[in-house]
Structure formats: C-alpha cells, structure tokens
Chain A
Amino acid sequence: MPAQNKDVLMSNKPQCVGIDFGTFKTSIVASNGNRDSIMTAVGLPKDHIARGMLGCDEVFGDRIGQVRTAVNLVRPFDCGALKYTDSSAAGLSADEVNRRCKAAKSIMGEVVRRVELGTGPRYAVIGAPSQASDEAKNVILQAASPHFDAVMIVAEPFCIAYGFGHLVGTLVVDIGAGTIDVCPMFGTYPKPDQQYSASVGGDAVDRELLSLIQQAHPDAQVTLNMARQFKEKFGTVSDDQERAVVVMPVEGVPTEFDITDIIRDACRVLVEPIIEGIHKTVAMSDPEFQAQLRGNILLGGGGSQLRGLDRLLETGVEKLGGGKVTRVNDCLYAGAAGALKLCMAMPAENWEQLRSQNAKAA
C-alpha cells in the first residue's frame, strides 16, 4: 500500500473514547491507548492577581490542589445536581446552572485534550447515573458535543458490566461520590425502571464525617477536603480495624486525634442504601434469576474501596437469601474502559446515524 493511501486511511480511522464523567472524578480511556483521570472540578482564579499568577483562566487536575487558595472551585455535579437530579430539584439558580454547565464543558475539553486524539471521526460513550434525568443527560451531551462527532450516553453500571463481559446474571453496584447505582444485568440493555439509584455516595460520607468530627472535637480545625482524605486513608465499615489516628490543628497547633469509631460510623451511612438497592432490584427481576443475581454482586466506584464493605454487604444480603459480593480491581478506570469497549463495539453505521440526526437537529 502506498504511504499516502495509508495516511489517508489512518487519518479516517475513528477515534473512540470512553468517559466516566463522575461527580468526583472524570476518567477517560481512548482507543489510541492514552488514558487519564482528573477531579471533576475546575479552579477559577479568584481575582486579577491570581489570574496573573496562574497565567490562565482555568485550572484542572492536580494543579488545583497546589493553588487552592488562589482559585474558586466549581464542581459541576456537586451533590449529584445536574447529574442525577434536575436543577430545580437541586435548588440551583439559573446563574449557578450556567456556571456549572460551563465548568462541565471546560472539564470535558481538558480530558479530551489530555488523550491527544488523532484526526478522523471522534466518537464517545459517556457514563451517566442509571436514572439520570433528561436534563442531566443533556448537560453531559452539551458538554461533550463540541469535542465529538457523535456521543452516546450509557448507564454507568452498564459500562462497568460491559467492560467485564458480565452481561448476564450480575448485579452491578456503582458506589460513586454522588450516587449509588444498582443495575441488574440480564443480557439486555437495562431499562431505567429496572435499575436503582440513591442520591447517597462518597460525598455524603464526607459530610457526615465532617459533622461527626466537629461534634466530637469542637476545637479541631477541619475541612470537608480533610474529611475526604481521612476517609480515603482510613475508610472502613468493619469493627476490627487498625486505629485511625489523624492530625488536625487546634488553634494552629497540629494535634493527634483518634477518629476510628467516627470514621466507621460515617462510612456505614452507605450500607443501608446499598442493601436497599440490592433488595429492590433483585425483587423487581425475574424470580428464576434472583439467586443468580445475588450470587454475583459486583461492587464498582470509589466507594467500593471501603474496607470490609464486601463482607458487611454479604452479611446484609443474608436476610435476602444470601449472596456473594466482589469488587472491581481498578475502580478508577473500570467504567471508562467499559465505555471505550462499547464505543469500539458500536457499528460504524450506528455512529453515522446518530451523527446525521445531530446534524439535522442543529
């Protein structure tokens, strides 16, 4: 094949990506082999001086942590707003909604830039909560459409299951920052009413932990971000765990506190909603396959990393007939990798069809 023809062919090769556009973090995996993950947040300079110091209008990823004091943080899907609930339900003003939509677009642009896609049609599959409202899905679509020729939105837990090839007889539980999504896999694409979503997640644990610490140690100076870090380091739901000794300043003096019991109690906030989700989805499904579902419960999302959660859930599922709980190894990329797999498995005609409809609508 002449080199020129090859180049032409290569340039028309579809560029596929899978994105997990989460409340807390955004992961992207591309068909060119690149992948990245950043916090779903954008840092906007607080004033002109900060802007001059930063040398840009928006800060992303790890850099946010370094210049935290100079930026205002915008988390577009904070508390599950615009992702799971409508803006009205979340009580957001129109200005706030605009600000968040803009931030979502910027974050999407940043992650796409990071994977350095080649020329050729760009297709993306993006994960959304199982029962995301149409408004929420539109926010994602609008954020992504400037960067892609065609975008499909797929339920987050389905992406995880598809990535593993667990399309039959698996109950996927995605424990994210904003929501817990439970999705039974029967070999078909799950309908919204077959799935379960609870607007509880890692963020709820952080808030609970912060308030418990403040109650127990009123003099300790602590922020939500510190609470999240404590949770990620010592997070557990079991009783037999090592002591969680953390350092928090008291009037500027670093002081050690033992917050083992507090962390455990805060993390256990997640257990009830998960058990309820498992119970409801199993009860809704075909009676012949209920045992199979319970026997293959797959935990995904950052919350699945809580120590002892799988064992505690197995105990909780016992009163529903017993089951087996496992967790994914790579919770950071499991959803995005599944989305990419789906993106590449989607026939070209399907992408073309979606693309032409979008063109007509525009």
Chain B
Amino acid sequence: MWTKATVICLFLSAIVSVPETVVGQQQMLGTDHLQLIEIRGKQRRDRIDGLTGVARTAPAPALEPLNPPRSTARQPAYDLHPNSGTLTPSGESIEFLGMEELQALIQSSIDASRVSEAQAKWNSIEQKLDSNLQDIRQLSQRIESVSQTPSQSVSSGTVASSISHLAPGIPRPEAQITPTSSPLQSSAVPWLTLTLSAFLVSLFALTLSAYRLGLSRASHLDRPTAPPQHVPTTVPEQYMPESSELRPRRTRGLAWPHEDAKAGATVLPLPVSQQEEIPEPLAPNIDLSTDDSATILSFETFSDQHRDEKKQKQEVNSALMAQILQDNLNLSNKAS
C-alpha cells in the first residue's frame, strides 16, 4: 500500500515538474536572447557613435536593435565585415550597414557639395534600419509567445530554426545562447529525480519486507526442531571439492514420499516437471508493483517450500544411509 501510494505521488509530482522545467528553459532562452539583442544593439550604437560624429544626428532608436541575436564575443568580425548577412523576414533582401558604407557616408557628408545627396542616403538607410527594427521586434515577439505557451511542445530547436531562418549566415544560437550541455538545465534533471526517488522507494519497501520477514522467521524458530545429530550432515566448506561442479546442488531436490523411503521400498522420484518446479532458494523475486502483503505471503510460501525441500532431502538421505548401512552390515556378517 505504502509503496503504491508513494510511487503514485512521485509519479504525479514528476508529471507536474517536467513541463515546468521545460518552460522555464524556454523562458530563459527567450530572456537571454532579448538581453543579448539589447547588448549587441548597444555595442553597435556605441561603435557608430565613436566612428561618426554625425551618428548623433541620426535617430538613436532606429539603430538600437539592428544586430541580429549573437551570443559570444568570439566572432567580433561580424560588425566590421560589410554586408555580412541578409535578413529576410518578409522575403525582401536587406543589406546590413557595413564599415565601408559608413566611411563612404562620412566622407560624403563632409563634402559640402554633396550634403543633400548624403541626406537622401541617410534617409534610405534610416528606412532600412526601421524595417530591420521591425523584423527584430517581430522576432522577439515570436520568441516571447513561444516561451509563454507551456502546453505547446516547442523546443529550443524551433526557436533556433526561426532565428536561423531570419539570419541564415548566423550560427544557430542553441550552441551559444544557452549552455544546453549543463546538467542542471538539461531535461535529464526530472528523470534523475524520478529515478532517485523510485530507488529510495524500492529501498524502503525492501527494508519493510525484510523486517516483516525477519519477524515471521523468528516466529518459525520458536517451533520445536529435530534434535541435533552428532555427525554433521553436510561437508564443511573447506572439505568440499574445489570445483563448483563437485559441490552439491541446492536446486535439485529429491522428491518422493517420506513413508515409502522409510519402508525401504523401491521408490521412484516424481516426474521431472514436478522436480523442476521447486524454486531456486535464496533468490526470491521481489516485485515492487505488488502489494506488500502479497510479497510477504510469497516469502512465506518460499520459506515453506524451502523447508519442505530440505526435509525431503533429509528423508532421502536417511533412507540412503540406512540402505548403505544394511549393505555393509551384511558384508561384515558374510566376512565373519
């Protein structure tokens, strides 16, 4: 009963905890993602600020979320390479603002005769940046929506694929954004918990059964037993043959009626099928899914069978001994 209840409780709690963790992971991914977008956007803005004095005149929010999500600083070349990628959220191709472009812009803006031309260029760039910003907002909204739907089975792979769909030139973020290899964040955690608790439960059930069995065994010991024999009936371990084959087998019991053996009649063993039914001693199969009382019951049957088998063996043995003694008494009679 205990076992069942505990197992069910654990199972339920595991069911509840599994999606939670998965969702938490998704949310974490989303937050990280957005934070990174923020950071990268800021870096980009600072860089532009440093490069151009004119950048201040440009609308700051338009520049802010320009960078697509990036996680590591291992690829600094990204910002410096011109036209390093294209964003295609709605099918159209948008070029990134590269270093050379910016320099050309600065040059042209210094040239007073081409101020108006530069202004026009600025406007087009601004438009491009605006559409970029929209795309990125769209993306972040998608990420957010994905992370807020727990029942939907969305993996980090889906988010990653949507990001890579927007920016195929950028490495998939799953390897960089979230340290998925970390054991504490992987989906193995709930299973580990589940396995551990299942193990503890089985340990508890085993202890309980063993304790109860001990009580039942102790009660058997109170019963009167046969008087001890002077000559030990089994060969001590050290006198036994070394090879395991030479040792007597515990499993194969001898099976025939006590009375027949005592009467000295020619007795025949039970058919093979019945002999083989005798269970292997000392190896009870404990099934945790069954009720405890059933387990105890099977233990009792087992120990009863074991005792019967032992008793039967003793009877056979004593019949054999009597026969051998008789043969030898006859022999010594004949000799004298």
A residues apposed to B, CB below 8 Å = 14, 16, 29-31, 33, 134, 137-138, 141, 151-154, 163-169, 186-189, 286, 288-289, 292, 328-330, 333-334, 337-338, 340-342, 344-348, 350-351, 353-354, 357-358, 361-362
Contact = CB atoms under 8 A, between A and B. Distances in A.
B321 A154 contact: no
A298 B241 CA distance: 16
A145 to B, nearest CB: 9
Contacts of B324: 152, 154, 189, 342, 346
Contact of B231 (A153, A288, A346): A346
B266 A188 contact: yes
Nearest to A154: B324
B248 interface: yes
Interface centre among A340, A347, A351 (most CB of B within 10 A): A347
Contacts of A337: 235, 239-241, 246
B336 interface: yes
Interface string B245-271: 111110010101000000000111101
A33 B237 CA distance: 10
A351 B229 CA distance: 12
B246 A344 contact: no
B245 A345 contact: no
Contact of A168 (B231, B241, B266, B275): B275
Nearest to A138: B335
A345 B336 contact: no
A347 B229 contact: yes
A29 B333 CA distance: 28
Contacts of B268: 186-187, 286, 289
A164 B248 CA distance: 5
B317 interface: yes
A153 B331 contact: yes
A340 B272 contact: no
Contacts, number: 142
B289 interface: no
B273 to A, nearest CB: 11
A334 B240 CA distance: 10
7 nearest CB pairs, A to B: A165-B248, A361-B336, A329-B243, A348-B230, A189-B323, A337-B241, A350-B325
B241 A333 contact: yes
Contacts of A346: 231, 321, 324-325
B248 A292 contact: no
B320 A189 contact: yes
Q: Size range of the interface on B? A: 35 or more
Nearest to B318: A347
B331 A345 contact: no
Nearest to A150: B328
B316 A351 contact: no
A340 B266 CA distance: 26
A139 B3 CA distance: 69
B317 to A, nearest CB: 6
B246 A347 contact: no
Interface of B: 229-236, 238-243, 245-249, 252, 254, 256, 266-269, 271-272, 275, 316-325, 327-329, 331-336
Nearest to B267: A188
Nearest to A360: B336
Given A165-B249, A345-B234, A346-B321, 10 more contacts: A187-B316, A286-B268, A328-B245, A330-B246, A334-B241, A337-B240, A340-B235, A341-B248, A345-B321, A348-B230
A82 to B, nearest CB: 15
B245 A164 contact: yes
Nearest to A189: B323
A347 B231 contact: yes
Contacts of B229: 347-348
B219 to A, nearest CB: 29
A70 B37 CA distance: 105
A347 B315 CA distance: 12
Contact of A134 (B238, B248, B331): B331
Contacts of A354: 325, 328-329, 332
Contact of A350 (B269, B316, B321, B335): B321
B233 A137 contact: no
Nearest to B322: A350
Given A154-B324, A344-B233, A344-B234, A187 B241 contact: no
Contact of A187 (B235, B269, B335): B269
A350 B234 CA distance: 16
A25 to B, nearest CB: 16
Contact of B332 (A167, A342, A361): A361
A341 B241 CA distance: 10
B239 A29 contact: yes
Interface centre among B238, B241, B243, B249 (most CB of A within 10 A): B241
A165 B252 CA distance: 8
Contacts of A351: 231
A205 B219 CA distance: 62
Nearest to A291: B272
Contacts of A189: 320, 323-324, 327
A153 B328 contact: yes
Contacts of A344: 231-235, 239
Contacts of A169: 269, 272
Nearest to B265: A188
A219 to B, nearest CB: 44
A37 to B, nearest CB: 13
Contacts of B254: 167-168, 187
Contacts of B318: 347
A337 B321 CA distance: 17
Given A154-B324, A347-B229, A340 B334 contact: no
Contact of B242 (A168, A330, A361): A330
Nearest to B231: A348
Nearest to A353: B325
A288 B271 contact: yes
Contact of B246 (A151, A164, A353): A164
Contact of A357 (B231, B243, B327, B332): B332
Contacts of B320: 167, 188-189
B239 A353 contact: no
